[in-house]
Amino acid sequence: MESPEDGVLRSRCRPAPKMPTFPDLDGKCSPGGHPQGNGDNHVITNGKIEVEHLISKKLQLKRKAEYLKSDLMRRFDSQVNDFMDSLIEESAKLEPAPVSAVFSPPLSDHERSKLSHFRPPHGQGKLFVSRRSLLDELFEVNHIRTIYHMFIALLILFIFSTLVVDFIDEGRLVLDFDLLVYAFGQFPLVVCTWICMFLSVLVVPYTLFHLWSHTQSGSFAHPNLYSVLFGSVFLLYQALGLGFLPTYVVVTNSLPPASCSVVIMEQVRLMMKAHSFVRENVPRFLAWSKDKTSPGPVVPQVSHYLYFLFAPTLIYRDKYPRNPVIRWGYVATKFLQVLGCLFYAYYVFVRLCIPQFRSVSLQLFDLKAMVLCVFNSILPGVLVLFLGFFAFLHCWHNAFAEMLRFADRMFYKDWWNSTSFANYYRTWNVVVHDWLYYYVYRDFLWMSQKRFRPAAMLFVFTVSAVVHEYILAICFGFFYPVLFCLFMCFGMMFNFILHDQRKGPIWNIIMWTSLFLGQGVIICLYSHEWYAQRYCPLKEPSFLELLKPRSWSCQRGLVVESDNL
């Protein structure tokens, strides 16, 4: 039987294809295919170089080089394909199977237990491996790092222009950062609310699972009844303890946007983590309770659950691949970059957004004004998109991953190279996408016995759109479902039109154009509604008036001056 190595060696030992002959200008060739020259008399005539012969020589060499290049690439592709085929064959042979101990020595119990920690339960789910973030690798290339330097230079120009304008207007340097102070107002209340949420998530789901696991050991009668009871209590806690109470605190205390976003986004994150913890451990216990041929599954330790609550992932595992050391310099750099992005966003709003929307003449909905507003909002919208991605998905996640020695740093992929919106949705935020894929999409298919894949995809889009719109509605203090409509209408449409079969640079250009335009629409419409809510407040609004966008009816003559923004 031929081994994979023999196949690779055979591909390397194939006879090289015969080199084609390239006749000289006079058409004479040697038997070996090499052109024969006529000596110096052919090259030089009366002391002058024959220009035609020199040009033909250059063309001949160019044709030879092109042929060699194509032949080399063809042979290289053939060898790579043969090597990959043999590698796939070899990996298929290494699948779990009753192989003789001579070729596969058995693992010890400790090694098998250690390896199983990183494998998904029952052979399904996300597999965590040690890998770096993509931007960390790309920043080692000088060309990519230069783009990073360009954004820093733009920040310096923003700071300089703001200082100059403030000095001209006020006659002094203004360094009060009033927008940041307003946006992060009532921060002690935010910290207290977060501590209460975190402690409740640490205690309630773990305690419920621990008590429920005792009822499934066989010593209790009616285990299904206990499962329904504990499951109902857990859902009630998710709805009231994590769902209603933090929102009530935010709304009743009228937290400003940034402080509100901290509470609401942490609320959503902790709810997703609690669901993952229960979702990953309950099936393992139920599978054991049915056969009971293997030793009972160990209840996860509190330290494992506590580590998961801080780890930058939404998929629970008892253990994750870990790095040996913590690079505290790397951690400090990432937190400084987050702080820099925060000030960057501040200057983007101060220089590009607030002057435009504060001085705009608020009147009845005008299509021309809206179109101009959208195109003027594309630049700040794109900058906010890049800053949010870099600060949160790269710097923030990597900082906590480094402090926890969390080795799997694939929080995103190369979404900027996407030629389809389907690929963009999968690669923009891998952390959230994994949760939606394993706990929404696949569970929906499991419950429907894999019969309604389009409905499962629609359900995933609906869940994502509702959560995004919920965050924006609570943080801004008004309901204006722009993002929800973009998700459910254009997002779903582009997901099927710009699908994975679309390849080539033109589709990447279309994807970026759509993304830029969408950011302009979001910044424009939400900013208009923000100022309309403050310029035209309603004293006793009805429920329908709360749902109707205020910017559609607010007029400049009805403006009430506001100190905020």
Q: What is the DSSP track for 189-252? A: HHHHHHHHHHHHHHHHHHHHHHHHHHHTSSSSS-HHHHHHHHHHHHHHIIIIIIIIHHHHHHHH
**Neighbour count for residue 14 (Cβ, 10 Å):** 11
pLDDT at position 246 is 93
How many domains, in total, are found in the chain?
A: 2
At 170, list the tokens: 């006020």
Q: Is the dihedral of CA 333, 335, 341, 343 positive or negative?
A: negative
pLDDT by residue (tens digit) across 286-320?
777 776 666 656 788 899 999 999 999 999 998 89
380-398: b (≥16 Cβ within 10 Å) or e: bbbbbbebebbbebbbbbb
Give domain status of residue 330, yes or no: no
Residue 169 lies in a domain: no
Q: What is the pTM of this model?
A: 0.73
196 residue type, one letter: C
Q: Is residue 290 part of a domain?
A: yes
557-562, Cβ contacts within 8 angstroms, sequence gap of 24 or more? 559/362, 559/535, 560/534, 560/535, 560/536, 562/534, 562/535
Q: Are residues 189 and 303 in the same domain?
A: yes
For residue 85, what pLDDT band results from cuts at 50, 70 and 90? low
Query: Residue 165 — pLDDT band, cuts 50, 70, 90?
Result: confident
Q: Dump the DSSP string for 349-376.
A: IIIIIHHHHHSS---S--HHHHHHHHHH
Helix (H) or strand (E) holding 273: helix 257-291
- Note whether residue 19 is domain-resident: yes
Asked if 423 and 511 touch (Cβ cutoff 8 Å), the reply is no
* 304 and 318 Cβ atoms separated by less than 8 Å: yes
Q: Is the dihedral of CA 312, 315, 319, 323 positive or negative?
A: negative
How remote is the C-alpha of 370 from its chain's centroid? 30
N- to C-terminal Cα separation, the chain: 77
* pLDDT tens track for 439-471: 999 888 888 887 888 888 888 888 988 999 999
As a whole number, mean pLDDT of residues 33-51 equals 48
Percentage of the chain beyond pLDDT 70 is: 76
Region 16-26 average pLDDT = 45
Residues 211 and 310 in one domain: yes
For the range 461-464, what are the long-range contacts, defined as Cβ-Cβ under 8 Å and sequence gap of 24 or more?
461/487, 461/488, 461/491, 461/492, 461/495, 462/488, 463/436, 464/432, 464/436
Q: CA-CA distances (angstroms) from residue 176 to 96, 171, 173, 260, 354?
A: 64, 15, 9, 22, 16
Q: What is the predicted pLDDT for the residue at 293?
A: 60
* 187 and 305 both lie in a single domain: yes
Domain that holds residue 194: 182-320
- Asked whether residue 86 falls in the same domain as residue 187, the answer is no
3-class DSSP state of 548 = coil
* Distance of alpha carbon 496 from alpha carbon 494, whole angstroms: 5
Average pLDDT of the chain to the nearest whole number: 78
Q: 310 lies in a domain?
A: yes
Q: How many CA atoms lie within 13 A of 313 on its CB side?
A: 28
CA proximity to 404, closest of 332, 316, 310, 314: 310
pLDDT of the residue at 94: 47
Q: What is the DSSP string of 149-173?
A: HHHHHHHHHHHHHHHHHHHHHHSS-
The distance between the two most distant Cα atoms of the chain, rounded to a whole number of Å, is 113
* 8-state DSSP, 439: I
- Are the CB atoms for 412 and 351 separated by under 8 Å? no
Q: Is 119 helix (H, G, I), strand (E, B) or coil?
A: coil
- Between 177 and 269, where is the model more confident? 269
End position of a domain, from candidates 320, 352, 377: 320
Tokens 């996640």 belong to 397
Instruction: Check residue 125 and give its pLDDT.
Output: 76
Q: Residues 193, 301: one domain?
A: yes
Specify the range with the lowest mean pLDDT, choosing from 4-18, 65-79, 344-358: 4-18
Tokens of 142: 């000088």
Check residue 93 and give its pLDDT: 44
Query: What are the tens digits of pLDDT across the range 192-230?
Result: 999 999 999 999 999 999 888 888 776 777 777 888 898
Phi, psi of 525 (to 5 degrees): -70, -40
Residue 412 in domain: no
Confidence of residue 556 (pLDDT cuts 50, 70, 90): low
Q: Which of 202, 278, 271 shows the shortest CA–CA distance to 240?
A: 271
Please tell me which residue, 23 or 483, carries the higher pLDDT value.
483
In a domain, 362, yes or no: no
Orientation of helix 453-476 relative to helix 505-535, angle to 10°: 40
Point out the catalytic residue in the list 42, 53, 304, 468.
Answer: 468
Cα distance between residue 366 and residue 459, in whole Å: 35
Task: Report whether pLDDT(41) > 50.
Answer: no
The 3-state DSSP composition of the chain as helix, strand, coil percent (nearest 5) reads 70, 0, 30
Alpha-carbon span 127 to 402, nearest angstrom: 19
Last residue of one domain, picked from the residues 66, 93, 120: 93
* Dist. CA 303–CA 297, nearest whole Å: 17
Check if the beta carbon of residue 498 is closer than 8 Å to that of residue 511.
yes
385 Cβ contact partners less than 8 Å away, ≥ 6 residues apart = 515, 519
Boundary (domain end) residue, out of 293, 320, 347: 320
**More reliable by pLDDT, 28 or 540:** 540
Q: For residue 498, what pLDDT band results from cuts at 50, 70 and 90?
A: low
103 found inside a domain: no
Output the pLDDT for position 87: 56
User: In this structure, are 299 and 194 located in the same domain?
Assistant: yes
110 noted as active-site residue: no
